[in-house]
Amino acid sequence: MKKILTLFAITPLVAFSLRAGDIVISQGVTPGDISQTLFGSSDLTQVVYADVGFTTGATGYSNVDITADLQGYTSGSASVTAYLSTSVGTGAGPALASNDVTFSSGNFSNILLFSGLTLDPGTSYFLTLAPDAGSTIAWGIDDSQPAPVTDLGVSIIPAGFCSGDGGDCASPPPSSPGFTLNNGVPADALGANPIFSVTANNVSGVPEPATYLLFATGLGALAFFRGRA
Protein backbone atom coordinates (compact mmCIF):
# COMPACT_ATOMS: atom_id res chain seq x y z
CA MET A 1 0.00 0.00 0.00
CA LYS A 2 2.88 2.36 0.68
CA LYS A 3 4.14 2.06 -2.90
CA ILE A 4 0.70 2.94 -4.28
CA LEU A 5 0.35 6.09 -2.18
CA THR A 6 3.87 7.32 -3.02
CA LEU A 7 3.38 6.83 -6.75
CA PHE A 8 0.00 8.51 -6.73
CA ALA A 9 1.34 11.51 -4.80
CA ILE A 10 4.37 12.15 -7.04
CA THR A 11 3.03 11.48 -10.54
CA PRO A 12 0.51 14.38 -10.79
CA LEU A 13 3.19 16.86 -9.73
CA VAL A 14 5.43 15.72 -12.57
CA ALA A 15 2.59 15.50 -15.07
CA PHE A 16 1.41 19.06 -14.66
CA SER A 17 4.76 20.83 -14.31
CA LEU A 18 5.03 23.85 -16.66
CA ARG A 19 7.67 24.51 -19.24
CA ALA A 20 9.53 27.55 -17.96
CA GLY A 21 12.12 29.80 -19.58
CA ASP A 22 11.98 28.42 -23.13
CA ILE A 23 14.31 30.31 -25.47
CA VAL A 24 12.63 31.78 -28.53
CA ILE A 25 15.88 33.35 -29.75
CA SER A 26 19.11 34.37 -28.04
CA GLN A 27 21.94 36.17 -29.81
CA GLY A 28 25.40 36.45 -28.29
CA VAL A 29 26.68 35.96 -24.76
CA THR A 30 29.37 38.42 -23.64
CA PRO A 31 29.91 42.00 -24.87
CA GLY A 32 33.34 42.35 -26.45
CA ASP A 33 35.48 45.12 -27.87
CA ILE A 34 32.83 46.31 -30.28
CA SER A 35 29.39 47.73 -29.55
CA GLN A 36 26.83 50.01 -31.17
CA THR A 37 26.70 53.43 -29.55
CA LEU A 38 23.26 55.06 -29.57
CA PHE A 39 22.67 58.78 -29.05
CA GLY A 40 19.53 60.50 -27.82
CA SER A 41 17.72 63.21 -29.71
CA SER A 42 19.23 66.12 -27.78
CA ASP A 43 22.12 66.07 -30.27
CA LEU A 44 20.28 66.14 -33.58
CA THR A 45 23.44 65.69 -35.65
CA GLN A 46 24.36 62.47 -33.84
CA VAL A 47 21.04 60.77 -33.07
CA VAL A 48 21.40 57.03 -33.65
CA TYR A 49 18.87 54.23 -33.23
CA ALA A 50 19.39 50.50 -33.82
CA ASP A 51 17.16 47.50 -34.35
CA VAL A 52 17.32 43.73 -34.70
CA GLY A 53 14.57 41.33 -35.75
CA PHE A 54 13.44 37.74 -35.70
CA THR A 55 10.72 35.62 -37.29
CA THR A 56 8.76 33.03 -35.32
CA GLY A 57 8.06 29.54 -36.64
CA ALA A 58 4.88 27.51 -36.40
CA THR A 59 4.60 28.09 -32.66
CA GLY A 60 3.22 31.13 -30.87
CA TYR A 61 4.48 32.22 -27.46
CA SER A 62 2.99 33.83 -24.37
CA ASN A 63 4.36 35.56 -21.28
CA VAL A 64 7.44 36.63 -23.24
CA ASP A 65 10.42 38.57 -21.85
CA ILE A 66 12.82 40.52 -24.07
CA THR A 67 16.22 41.63 -22.77
CA ALA A 68 19.31 43.31 -24.22
CA ASP A 69 22.85 43.91 -22.98
CA LEU A 70 23.20 47.67 -22.51
CA GLN A 71 25.72 50.06 -21.00
CA GLY A 72 24.92 53.63 -20.03
CA TYR A 73 27.45 56.36 -20.72
CA THR A 74 25.41 59.18 -19.22
CA SER A 75 26.43 60.16 -15.70
CA GLY A 76 24.38 58.31 -13.07
CA SER A 77 21.79 56.67 -15.26
CA ALA A 78 20.64 56.39 -18.84
CA SER A 79 17.23 55.83 -20.35
CA VAL A 80 16.10 54.21 -23.57
CA THR A 81 12.77 53.60 -25.22
CA ALA A 82 12.30 50.11 -26.63
CA TYR A 83 9.83 49.44 -29.41
CA LEU A 84 8.48 46.10 -30.63
CA SER A 85 6.91 46.18 -34.07
CA THR A 86 6.03 43.87 -36.97
CA SER A 87 7.44 46.25 -39.60
CA VAL A 88 10.13 48.90 -39.85
CA GLY A 89 11.10 51.67 -42.21
CA THR A 90 9.09 54.20 -44.17
CA GLY A 91 5.39 53.49 -43.90
CA ALA A 92 5.73 51.18 -40.90
CA GLY A 93 2.69 51.09 -38.68
CA PRO A 94 2.74 51.98 -35.00
CA ALA A 95 4.71 49.78 -32.64
CA LEU A 96 2.90 46.89 -30.97
CA ALA A 97 4.48 47.87 -27.67
CA SER A 98 6.87 50.47 -26.33
CA ASN A 99 8.55 50.83 -22.97
CA ASP A 100 10.77 53.51 -21.46
CA VAL A 101 13.51 51.94 -19.35
CA THR A 102 15.98 53.67 -17.02
CA PHE A 103 19.08 51.83 -15.81
CA SER A 104 22.30 52.65 -13.98
CA SER A 105 25.30 53.68 -16.04
CA GLY A 106 28.54 51.74 -15.70
CA ASN A 107 29.22 48.22 -16.88
CA PHE A 108 27.16 46.25 -19.36
CA SER A 109 24.02 44.77 -17.82
CA ASN A 110 21.26 42.52 -19.07
CA ILE A 111 18.32 44.93 -19.12
CA LEU A 112 14.71 43.74 -19.14
CA LEU A 113 12.90 45.70 -21.87
CA PHE A 114 9.55 43.90 -22.09
CA SER A 115 7.68 41.27 -20.12
CA GLY A 116 4.34 39.51 -20.50
CA LEU A 117 4.22 39.78 -24.30
CA THR A 118 2.40 37.43 -26.68
CA LEU A 119 4.03 36.53 -30.01
CA ASP A 120 2.07 35.09 -32.93
CA PRO A 121 3.35 32.20 -35.08
CA GLY A 122 4.88 32.92 -38.49
CA THR A 123 5.41 36.61 -37.74
CA SER A 124 8.41 38.93 -38.07
CA TYR A 125 9.16 41.12 -35.06
CA PHE A 126 11.62 43.99 -34.73
CA LEU A 127 13.20 45.30 -31.53
CA THR A 128 14.22 48.94 -31.88
CA LEU A 129 16.14 50.90 -29.24
CA ALA A 130 16.16 54.70 -29.16
CA PRO A 131 17.89 56.54 -26.28
CA ASP A 132 15.89 59.28 -24.63
CA ALA A 133 16.99 62.89 -25.00
CA GLY A 134 20.28 63.48 -23.24
CA SER A 135 21.17 59.77 -22.91
CA THR A 136 23.99 57.90 -24.60
CA ILE A 137 24.12 54.12 -24.41
CA ALA A 138 25.96 51.20 -25.96
CA TRP A 139 24.27 48.02 -27.17
CA GLY A 140 26.73 45.20 -26.59
CA ILE A 141 27.95 42.92 -29.37
CA ASP A 142 29.59 39.53 -28.93
CA ASP A 143 32.88 39.73 -30.87
CA SER A 144 32.66 36.07 -31.93
CA GLN A 145 29.15 36.54 -33.38
CA PRO A 146 28.01 33.00 -32.54
CA ALA A 147 25.00 31.62 -34.36
CA PRO A 148 21.84 32.54 -32.46
CA VAL A 149 20.22 29.92 -30.24
CA THR A 150 16.67 29.52 -31.51
CA ASP A 151 13.53 27.52 -30.98
CA LEU A 152 12.36 25.36 -33.89
CA GLY A 153 11.60 27.48 -36.96
CA VAL A 154 12.76 30.79 -35.46
CA SER A 155 15.26 32.84 -37.49
CA ILE A 156 17.10 36.12 -37.01
CA ILE A 157 16.71 39.24 -39.16
CA PRO A 158 20.02 41.15 -39.48
CA ALA A 159 20.40 44.25 -37.33
CA GLY A 160 20.21 47.74 -38.77
CA PHE A 161 20.64 51.33 -37.63
CA CYS A 162 19.71 54.83 -38.58
CA SER A 163 21.84 57.91 -38.13
CA GLY A 164 20.92 61.57 -37.88
CA ASP A 165 24.06 62.39 -39.83
CA GLY A 166 22.55 60.71 -42.87
CA GLY A 167 19.09 62.12 -42.31
CA ASP A 168 17.55 58.64 -42.07
CA CYS A 169 16.38 59.13 -38.47
CA ALA A 170 13.99 61.85 -39.53
CA SER A 171 10.96 59.79 -38.54
CA PRO A 172 10.56 58.39 -35.04
CA PRO A 173 11.33 54.70 -34.63
CA PRO A 174 10.39 52.16 -35.84
CA SER A 175 9.43 54.08 -39.01
CA SER A 176 12.86 55.65 -39.54
CA PRO A 177 13.78 55.26 -43.24
CA GLY A 178 17.15 53.71 -42.44
CA PHE A 179 15.45 50.59 -41.08
CA THR A 180 13.80 49.71 -44.41
CA LEU A 181 14.57 46.15 -45.53
CA ASN A 182 15.99 45.39 -48.97
CA ASN A 183 15.65 41.68 -49.76
CA GLY A 184 15.45 40.96 -46.05
CA VAL A 185 18.50 43.05 -45.14
CA PRO A 186 18.32 46.52 -43.52
CA ALA A 187 19.13 49.45 -45.81
CA ASP A 188 21.76 50.45 -43.24
CA ALA A 189 23.01 47.09 -42.00
CA LEU A 190 24.75 47.16 -38.63
CA GLY A 191 27.15 44.44 -39.76
CA ALA A 192 26.85 42.44 -36.54
CA ASN A 193 23.88 41.41 -34.44
CA PRO A 194 23.73 42.91 -30.93
CA ILE A 195 23.15 40.82 -27.81
CA PHE A 196 19.49 40.23 -27.03
CA SER A 197 17.22 37.42 -25.93
CA VAL A 198 13.55 36.54 -26.24
CA THR A 199 12.31 34.04 -23.67
CA ALA A 200 8.85 32.54 -23.26
CA ASN A 201 7.84 31.61 -19.73
CA ASN A 202 5.20 28.89 -19.29
CA VAL A 203 4.88 28.63 -23.05
CA SER A 204 1.37 27.23 -23.06
CA GLY A 205 0.70 25.84 -19.59
CA VAL A 206 0.00 22.51 -21.32
CA PRO A 207 2.04 19.45 -20.31
CA GLU A 208 4.62 18.23 -22.81
CA PRO A 209 4.07 14.82 -24.52
CA ALA A 210 6.79 13.25 -22.39
CA THR A 211 5.01 14.48 -19.29
CA TYR A 212 1.76 12.86 -20.41
CA LEU A 213 3.73 9.62 -20.85
CA LEU A 214 4.99 9.82 -17.27
CA PHE A 215 1.46 10.41 -16.05
CA ALA A 216 0.08 7.47 -18.03
CA THR A 217 2.89 5.24 -16.80
CA GLY A 218 2.11 6.19 -13.21
CA LEU A 219 -1.58 5.40 -13.63
CA GLY A 220 -0.74 2.07 -15.25
CA ALA A 221 1.55 1.13 -12.40
CA LEU A 222 -1.11 2.17 -9.91
CA ALA A 223 -3.65 -0.12 -11.58
CA PHE A 224 -1.11 -2.97 -11.63
CA PHE A 225 -0.38 -2.70 -7.92
CA ARG A 226 -4.10 -2.50 -7.09
CA GLY A 227 -4.70 -5.64 -9.12
CA ARG A 228 -2.09 -7.49 -7.06
CA ALA A 229 -3.50 -6.30 -3.71
For the segment 13-72, what is each residue's pLDDT rounded down to a tens digit? 333 333 446 999 999 999 999 899 998 876 555 688 999 999 999 999 999 999 999 999
Instruction: Estimate to the nearest angstrom the gap between the alpha carbon of 198 and the chain centroid.
Output: 2
**CATH of the domain spanning 19-205, picked from 1.10.3720.10, 3.20.20.70, 3.40.50.300, 2.60.120.820:** 2.60.120.820
Mean pLDDT, range 98-111, rounded to an integer: 95
| CA–CA separation, 161 and 169 (whole Å) | 9
CB 103, CB 135: distance < 8 Å? no
At a CB cut-off of 8 Å and minimum separation 6, what does 65 contact? 112, 114, 115, 116, 117, 197, 198, 199, 201
pTM: 0.79
Asked if the model's pLDDT at residue 150 lies above 90, the reply is yes
User: Which phi and psi angles does 219 have, rounded to 5°?
Assistant: -65, -40
The length of the chain, given as a count of residues = 229
Q: pLDDT band at 164, cuts 50/70/90?
A: confident
Which has the higher per-residue pLDDT, 217 or 11?
Answer: 217
Query: Which amino acid belongs to residue 178?
Result: G
